[in-house]
Amino acid sequence: MVHIIGWGHTKFGKLDGQGVEDLIVEAGREALAHAGIAPGEVDGIWMGHFNGGMVPDGFPSSMALSIDPALRFTPATRLENACASGSAAVFAARNAIMAGEAKVALVLGVEKMTHLPTRDVAAALGHAAYQKEEAGLSFPAVFAGFARAYFEKWGDKTEALAMIAAKNHANAMANPLAQLHKELPVEFCATESERNPMIAAPLKMSDCSLVSDGAAAIVLVADDVAKAMPRAVRLRAAEQVNDFLPMSRRDLTAFEGPREAFRRAFLASGVTLDDLHVAEVHDCFTIAELMIYEAMGLAAPGQGETLLRQGAVMRNGRLPVNLSGGLKAKGHPVGATGVSMHVLVSRQVTGTAEEMQQDGASLGMVFNMGGSGVANYCTILEAERI
């Protein structure tokens, strides 16, 4: 078993003056201090970072050694799986611990995006699509394709998407680290307007996650180290499923890769949906969150909307989703996102999520996704000591 014993998390947003290295150092130092781990005790470092041309730092792993000189000669490795690069780092560190190669792992996720014009960010993220067939396609256009296919099969879900956006914006009000603190009414989100323009029909500005700078970090440890710690969150399951990269080889009305990741995570953990208290899932676009409800089995295919209408995924609902504000309002520094989700759920299950706290939460889920259901990571986290 592998355990999270501490975490760090920068503010997400436009962080002028902080580059990739600065963000890594801030989140990493905070996580080590929070865990009560001296830098010299770290056996290995795993870093999630997408880049895709957004920064010239093409070899960031050793930047983590700037956290402390005692980290010199510590193995450090960058992982990339598009917007799931953060979870890729978590999973690689977990393997190293389970392999006995590390007792204490520092996991980092980082991205620097806001220094670029939106056009350049879109082009960089577009590199996560299948170039042979989808070159030049932006991610809003990719997910608009999913939304159109979904709407065609199940009817127009504009209002459901608006309810997701409004929910996540409302949730972010309780998260001081979130990029945006602005409530958006459902009606505003459901309506095309000057302030909420169509980006790629049927997706409007309010359906898209943010362009963000930020970093997050967790300290992962082996059983014997966790035992001595005041706080520990167990990874009850961690399952990764990759699907075909080309959209042409996938069903755009169902997230088959995500569905398989959820299935495996439930199987491996023995946990059912009914056991979960909170979930942080990958709402890069509102349509993604809607389809994730169905992929995880919270709603039957085509029925995700009912969860919103019944309040099931709202704060204090059956399974509150994205109490942090999600990628939609917390922000989405892509390489940091997967690690951030692990931090947020760890805070929930240890009762330290402050204003975001879901009463009595002790078991939570992370679902982090690279591309449009291509790299899929599901983690089940459970508090041991809080």
Query: Which residues lie near a copy of itself (CB under 8 A)?
Result: 19, 21, 44-45, 50-53, 55-59, 61-63, 65-66, 72-82, 88, 91-92, 94-101, 124, 127-129, 131-132, 135, 240-245, 257, 260, 370-371, 374-375
Nearer to a copy of itself, 53 or 302 (CB): 53
Among residues 83, 208, 284, 378, the one annotated as catalytic is: 83
What per-residue string of b and e applies to 148-187 under the rule 16 or more CB within 10 Å gives b?
A: bbbbeebeebbebbbbbbbbbbbbbbbbebbbbeeebebe
Tell me if 207 sits within 8 A of 141, measured CB to CB: no
Q: Is the separation of the CB atoms in 107 and 368 below 8 Å?
A: no
Smallest separation (angstroms) from a copy of itself to the CB of 128: 4
Separation CA 386–CA 366 (nearest Å)? 19
Residue 332 annotated as catalytic: yes
Q: What is the phi/psi pair of residue 350, to 5°? A: -100, 5
The helix-helix angle for 118-126 and 139-154 (nearest 10°) equals 70
Which residue(s) pair with 9 in the sheet? 216
Identify whether the C-beta of residue 128 lies closer than 8 Å to the C-beta of residue 137.
no
Burial class (CB in 10 A: 0-12, 13-18, 19+), 309: exposed
Helix (H) or strand (E) holding 219: strand 214-222
Q: Which is nearer to a copy of itself, 213 or 243 (CB)?
A: 243
- In the complex with a copy of itself, the residue whose CB is nearer, 158 or 372, is 372
Nearest to 207 by CA among 285, 155, 142, 137: 285
57 versus 192: smaller Cβ distance to a copy of itself: 57
CB closer to a copy of itself, 41 vs 57: 57
Decide whether 240 or 379 has the Cβ nearer to a copy of itself: 240
Query: Shortest Cβ distance from residue 197 to a copy of itself (Å)?
Result: 27
On whether the CB atoms of residues 331 and 215 are closer than 8 A, the answer is no
- Residue 331 Cβ vs a copy of itself, minimum distance, rounded to whole Å: 20
CB atoms within 10 A of CB 227: 12
CB of 179 to a copy of itself, least distance (A): 23
Annotated catalytic residue, options 3, 332, 342, 378: 332
CA 329 to chain centre: 12
Residues 6 or more apart whose CB falls under 8 angstroms from that of 69 comprise none
Please state the closest distance from residue 22 (CB atom) to a copy of itself, in A: 10
Whether 238 and 357 have beta carbons less than 8 Å apart is answered as: no
Q: Is the CB of 287 or the CB of 375 nearer to a copy of itself?
A: 375
CA distance 367 to 86: 11
* Closest distance of CB 384 from a copy of itself, Å: 20
Cα–Cα distance for residue pair 383/352, rounded to 1 Å: 11
Q: Could you tell me the two tokens for 171?
A: 């949730």
Q: Specify the residue, 243 or 382, whose C-beta has the smaller distance to a copy of itself.
A: 243
Q: Which residue has the tokens 């394709």?
A: 145
Residues assigned a catalytic role: 83, 332
